[in-house]
Every structure is written in C-alpha cells, then in structure tokens.
Structure 1
Amino acid sequence: MERLVLDPTGRNRDAETAELFERGPATPIDLLGVRAWAVADPELLEELLKDPRVSKDGLQHWPDFAEAVPTWPLAIWVAARNMFTAHGAEHRRLRRLVGTAFSVRRINAMTEQVEQLTGTLLDGLAATPPGTPVDLREHLAYRLPIQVIARLLGLPDSLTDSFRTTVDRVFDTTRTAEEAVANLTTFYGMLDELIATKRREPADDMTSLLIAARDTGDEEDGADGSDGSGKADGSGKADGTAGASALTEEELRDTLLLVVSAGYETTVNLIDNAIAALLTHPEQLALVRAGKVGWGDVVEEALRRDAPVAHLPLRFAVEDIELPGGVVLRKGDPILASYAAAGRHPVRYGEDGAVFDVTRPVKDHLAFGHGPHFCLGAPLARLEGATALRMLFERFPDLALAPDAELRPVESLISNGHRELPVLLDGAR
C-alpha cells in the first residue's frame, strides 16, 4: 500500500481522516520524512496504548533514532528525556514525580483561581466597543491556560509570553529542522533561567517541587496513587532501583518543557474548538442553556469530535505485533496515534461521528490518551474548559461568530485548533 503523506499544514485533515478510515485500522504513512504506521481505529489504538509491547522510548526502541533525530523537524517529540518519552519503570518513576502537581487536592484547590482568572479575562473582553470583532482564541482560549500553567509552575511574568511563543513553535510542523533546533535552544535557555530563579527562591509550585526531587531526591507522598516510596504497594522501593525518585538535570529541564507544552497548547485547542462548535451549532447551545445537558458534556463532546492533538508522535513496537487483518508491526516500527480520526471513527461512534452532539450517549474518547501515558493534566484541562465555557456564555448571552469569519486551522499536523476565533460579543445587535 502506498504511504499516506500527512499534510504538515493541517489543512487537509478532514480528507486525511476519511482516507485513514478507508485504509483500515492501521496504515503506512510518511511523517515529515519518517516512515510510520498511523492508527486511527479507536478499538485498536486503545489496545496498543496499553500494550507493554509498545514503547515511547525512541532512544531504546527505534533503530533509526540516531540517524533521524539530527535532521527531523519533530525530533524533540522523541528525543526529550521525560515521562512522555519514557517506558516501563523509567516512565513510572518520572510520572510519579510529576503526578504530585496534579493530585486531586491541588486541582480542587485551583478551582477558585481558575474562576478568578476567567472572570478577569471576561472583564477585559467586556470593554470591547459594541460591534467590534474580538479574537477569542487570542483573548480567552490562549490566555487562561497560559496563566494557569504559569501559576502551577511559578513562571515569572517576564517569561510567560516568551514561553507561549516557543511552545507555539514546537507545535508548528511547517518549520524546518534548523528552525526547530533554534527554537529549542531558546526554550532551554528560558527553562534554565526559570530553574536558576527557583533554586535561589523556591516556592510552593511545581518547578520548586521538581528541583527538590532533582537536588535532594525528595518525593511528595501520595503522588499518582503511591505512598511516595515509588511503588504503590508501599514496599519502599521504586521498581527495585535505589534512589529512583531523583531526577537528572536533563530530566528536570525536559519535564518542565513537557508540562509547559502539554499543559498549555492542548487546553487552548479544547476551549477554542468547544466555543466554535457551540457557535456553529446553536441548537446544541440551546440544550445547555435549557439545562438538558451540562458544560461537562460539552467539554467531552468537543474533546471527542475535535481532539486537541490530531496526531501524536511517536510510539515504537518493542517486538513484532500482529494486527487484525494480517498487518504486522515489525520490531522498531514507529506508530502514530491519530487521535482526531479516532474520535470520529464509525467503528465506535457510528456514521455520524463527525457530528457535534452534546447528547451523544457514548462519552468515551481517547483525546487524553489511554493506558500508562494517560494525560495527568486531564482533570485540570476539563476544569479550565468547563469554567471558561460556562462563564463566557453567561457573561455574553448574544455571543456570535463575526460576519464572514473564516475558521482556519493552525499550521500543524499535531495541534488541532484555529488560527483565530473572531466573534461579536453582542451578537448581531
């Protein structure tokens, strides 16, 4: 079968989704020059995401790693050393450390803060002159998540906008390898500045917590369901490895890189896509306003229909894996999780999978992943999404898309959102 070449601009996503459906559960693709298998069938993808024979550690399980990374624009997606690219015991060790910042206690404590931040942003929007279009992606969908992640990590105000710019470039898949390397150099420079600041002046934030794990080996109890010992059974050992709670300096930097990137861009797209869906489906918005469904239902349907991450690179077959239909993933083969296509697949959602329906009885989706790498930030993203939607539509009941608004996709085969979301806060009045 001829390889499907994925469009780095994201403009052909609907056509690519249709072709992925037609080609079967897994299909060979070209991912900016790297040969891989795209998996769009949610049933198969779910199985592979929890299969121990599938790894995210390219350094260990991708034979082409050394050759591909220097010239591949998406190298950071496989080369960073953090829980995103770790496998097995190493993944469990790193995930526990990050999990302390996303505990139920910490997320619940942020509810009031998210509401306050949202209210302040809406106050700013209310000053817009009547009849003047405003870009909600820029002034709400962007600003709320970046402010939340800034407070979670303890980012100084002087670095917040710079972090946003570099993260946007990480997700921009139209950039060359040289441009990607230059952006990454800038990104690491800002991370080093943040780490140095927090070493001098630690605070109650995630960056300081991770620095403590790096510098002292400390780990907060109760993270990710464990007792802090590194093993959920309380044996006092982390997968049999002494000192496994400590972070290397590289892991510290790359873990912060991951949290800034994943904790920000995906939530931007969630809020953006949900607002766009409601404004283009007024009958669905009417159901929410009538109390027939809740804002949480809107969030889940937006996540399903328009996964914030369209394709997520990469996973690797640890050994030969035979798939339904006789397809065999050979040891070392790269695997691309095609979440946007999986969220609309007829095998799980019927022939109307592309329809936005907040009353849809099937609520399960893979937008946050599945298995060991399920997104730790999912509860926070859901909180931000539901809060932003509820407060926005309560504050501006006549909200409508601006006349002749063109909802253009961001230039990325990874990030799934719009370049801008122009609206009139006072609607057609």
Structure 2
Amino acid sequence: MEHPPARTPHRLDPSGGCPHAVNARLLSAGAVAPVELPGGIEGMAVLGHEALKEFLQHPEVAKSATHFTALREGRVAEGWPLLTFATVQGMTTADGDDHRRLRSLVGRAFTPRRVEELRPRVEELTAQLLDGLERAAAAGDGTADLRRHFALPLPMDVISELLGVDVAFRSRLHQLSSKVVATDTEPAEAVAANRELVAVLGEIAAAKTARPADDLTSALIAARDEGGDRLSHQELIGTLVLMIIAGHETTLNLITNAVRALCAHPDQLDLVRAGTASWADVVEETLRWDAPVSYFPFRYPVRDLTVDGTVVPAGTPVLAGYSAAGRDPAAHGPDADRFDVTRPVRPDAARHLSLGHGAHFCLGAPLARLEATVALERLFARFPALELAVPEAELAPHAGFVGNSVRALPVRLAPAGA
C-alpha cells in the first residue's frame, strides 16, 4: 500500500503575524500539519474543525509535559519561549484526577450564576473605561488606542478583583504575562519574565496569607494550607499564573478583534442595530472568524495516533489550531472566511471550538462572553460613529503565534471635524 508523501514541516514564525492565509494554505493540504516550533522542535498542529474536536477529547491525548518527548530527552532549552505553557503547574498541564482537583478549586467562581452576579460590576467598570477612552481621545487628536484604554483594562480589572490583586500590581502583571505568552521573546528575557512573574505572584500570595480576604486567591491559599493535600504551593502559583494570563489576554484579544471586525464590516453592525442579530452573535462570530488564540500549546498523544489520516507520534507537542478550525470550509461552508453575524448554526454542530472542547473547555468562557458582550454593546451605544483611525492594513499584528490580534487599535470616536 502506497503512503502519501510526507509534508514538509511549516516553520511557525516566532514573531507571529496574521494567521489566516497560512492556515488556509496548510488546511488545503490536510487537517493535520507538521510544524517546526522555535528552537527546531518538531511538532504538529491540528487545523480542521472535526479533527480538532476529535483530538481535544481523545482519551489517549494528555496535557502533562511528562509525555513531551523532546523535553524529557533534554532537547528543550531553559529559555524556550513556550516552556511556561508546557511546565506551569496548573489545570492546563494536568490530567485525570489532578485536573479535576485543580479545576474544582476555582470552578465555583466561574459558574454561569456566579458570573451573572458580576454583571453590575462589569457594567460599572465598562462605563468608567469609556469615560477614560473619551478623555484619551480628547487629550490628543481625537483618536485613542482602544486596545490600551478599553479592551485591556476591562478584563484585567475584573480578573484582578476576583483574585484580590491590588491595582498597583496590574500593569506589571500584564507586561510580564505578555512576555510569557509571546513566542518571539529572547531566551534570557523569557527566563527573567517567568521568574519575575512567579516572584510578583508569590508576593501577592504572601500578602493574602497574612491578610486573607473574600477573594479567590485567599480561597486557594486556604486550600493550600489544609495540609497541602488539596493544593501545593507550586500549584497555587501556577494557578495564579493561569488565572491572570487566561483571565485577561484572551478577552483582550476578543474585544479588540470584535471591534476591528465591526469597523471593517459596517453592514454587520447595522444588522445588530436593527435587531437582526445580537451582541452575543457578534461575540460568537468573532470567536469563530478571528479566534483570540491561534495555536494553543500543548497536547501530547500517549501513543502513536492517526488523526484524519495523519500519524501523530507519541510524545509530539501538538498545537490546537483554533484560528484555522474557525475558518475550515468543511465545517463552516465555502464562505467560512466571511464575517457574518447571522451565520446559521447546525443544531448538531458547535459554532466554533475557540474556547476549547472536552474536559479542558475554557473555565472562564461565561465570564469572557459577559465581558465582551457588555463591552461591545456599551461601546457602540456611547460612540455610534466609532471608526478605525488608520487603514486596517496598517494595524500591526500581535507578537507571537499563540495569541491572535493586533498590537494597537487606534479609533476615532466621532467623525473627523465633528
């Protein structure tokens, strides 16, 4: 029996860039593609919607880096930019009982009911930030960076308040987490950023140990101090790392991408204003069409697996290609690359996989959806003439290939000369 020729690994650009053209090219050749990660590490990316859905819930696919062959063999350098994704001790790198234990410790804070109770605070913060956005535009030439003044501080403030993180730490935590998730960070800088992030979170944990409060960090510390059998200190810090990064970076990109999409597709914004579609529809279509996470690390087959006809060797670090799956024509039709807030959803199919699937489905999904929906509704109600202040082609892509967005989003809140 003849086998198809092996595909040449696609070298992922550490500096990132818009992923969609590359995704379309790779996906046209198959749902699973070999990739070269930074440092020459061999990996794979699952790009097709159905293949990714199968892979994310496969019982013989693990999250623990104990299954990462190259790491186990000492072929991964200390300053490897993706090392934190692989080795942080928390629910994203745990399997089975450990995963269930860690997830249960924070899960109660993110139930739909508990999240809905946060709505008044999210609305209050949104109003305050819109005031700040208007002041920033008025202080300059009538334009402001919406990403910096609105899309970033909203989820950062919400997750920080949930965790009990003082305002004084928030800007530094964002700067450090941005370096941790970037894939183009120099090795020495990556090591330093990781160490400082752990040190800052250790300082926060020490303060909460001395003065517990009604917040998630204090609850996690209490779990740690109950004999250490529910949570180790390393797992405490790892969980805080994950909560800070996942709690704001993804929603930051989601809000940014949604505003950019609506500005580029005013006909779709008109549909929402006419009541033909909802703000929730905008959020879901943005998650599909321009996923805030492009290639998420890592999963490892515990044995050689065949996924959509491609063998993925045991121990291979596999990326979940969310941005590619979102535009997979096999799942979303020949117009999969069109932004359509009225896109019908088959009752037997998920609209997208951009928040994960299976046991590791994004714990913060209800919160991200709430924040993005409130943010978009209030933003366009307050500034109905909002538009991009520069041509979309001039927007610089996000650093790295994990996150998917732009570095800044300059907007004009009112028509020029108004």
TM-score over 0.5 for the alignment? Answer: yes
Measure the CA separation in 2 of the matches of 1:71 and 1:271: 31
Paired position in structure 2 for 1:336: 319
Q: Is residue 51 of structure 1 aligned with residue 34 of structure 2? A: no
The counterpart of 1:19, out of the listed 11, 20, 25, is: 25
8 A Cα contact 1:401 1:427, kept in partner: no
Distance 1:276 1:404 in 2: 11
| In 1: Cα distance, 2:107 partner to 2:273 partner | 35
Count of aligned pairs: 401
2:79, 2:190 within 8 Å by CA — same for their partners in 1? no
Larger deviation, residues 394-403 vs 130-139:
130-139
Letter in 1 for 2:376: L
State the SS of the aligned residue for 2:78: helix
Matching residue's letter, 2:13:
D
Q: Contact 2:223–2:231 at 8 Å: present in 1 too? A: yes
| 1:356-407 CA distance string (max 9 Å, x none) | 1000012610110000000000000000000000000000111111144522
Distance 1:403 1:185, change over 3 A: closer
- Relative to structure 1, the CA distance from residue 393 to residue 159 in structure 2 (aligned partners, 3 Å threshold; closer, same or farther) is same
Q: How does 1:391-410 map to 2 (within 5 A)?
A: 391-404=378-391, 406-410=394-398
Counterpart of 2:143 in structure 1 is 133
Question: What is the CA distance between 1:71 and its match in structure 2?
Answer: 4.4
Q: Hey, what does 1:378 align to over in structure 2?
A: 365
| Gap runs ≥5 in structure 2 | 1-6
Find the residue that maps to 1:70 and give its secondary structure: coil
1:122 counterpart letter in structure 2: L
Contact persistence 2:86–2:298 (CA under 8 A): yes
Aligned to 1:41, which of 48, 53, 57?
48
Aligned to 1:269: 253
Equivalent in the alignment of 2:240: 256
How far does the alpha carbon of each residue in 1:96-129 deviate from its partner, in whole angstroms, 9 at most, with x for none? 1121221233212110000000000111223332
Aligned to 2:109: 101
2:267 corresponds to which of 283, 307, 316: 283
* Contact 1:131/1:424, CA 8 A, preserved across alignment: no
> Is this contact kept in 1: 2:85–2:298, CA < 8 A?
yes
Alignment correspondent of 2:408 = 420
- 1:130-279 mapped onto 2 (5 Å cutoff): 132-216=142-226, 246-279=230-263
Aligned pairs for 1:350-361 (under 5 A) are 350-361=333-344
Query: 1-side partners of 2:320 and 2:13: how far apart?
Result: 15
In the alignment, is the contact (CA less than 8 A) between 2:306 and 2:312 conserved in 1?
Answer: yes
Alignment check: 8 A CA contact 1:131 1:426 kept: no
- Aligned match of 2:3: none
Say whether the 8 Å CA contact 2:259–2:376 is kept in structure 1.
Answer: yes
Which residue identity is paired with 1:23?
Answer: A
Q: Output the amino acid matched with 1:353.
A: A
Equivalent residues of 2:47, 2:324 under 8 A apart: yes
Q: Is the 8 A contact 2:63 2:298 kept in 1?
A: yes
CA contact (8 A) 2:304 2:312 kept: yes
Give the C-alpha shift of residue 131 in structure 1. 5.3
Match in the other structure for 2:37? 31
Where does the alignment leave 5 or more consecutive residues of structure 1 unmatched?
218-242
TM-score, normalised relative to structure 1? 0.91
Alpha-carbon distance in 2 for matches of 1:115, 1:384 = 8
Match of residue 240 from structure 1: none
Q: Identity of aligned pairs, percent?
A: 46
Q: CA deviation at 1:351?
A: 1.9
Task: Report the equivalent of 1:367.
Answer: 354
Which whole-Å deviations, capped at 9, do the CAs of 1:48-98 have from their partners, x for residues lacking one?
101110001012x12222311524221011011110001111111111112
Partner of 1:316: 300
Residue 87 (structure 1) aligns with: 95
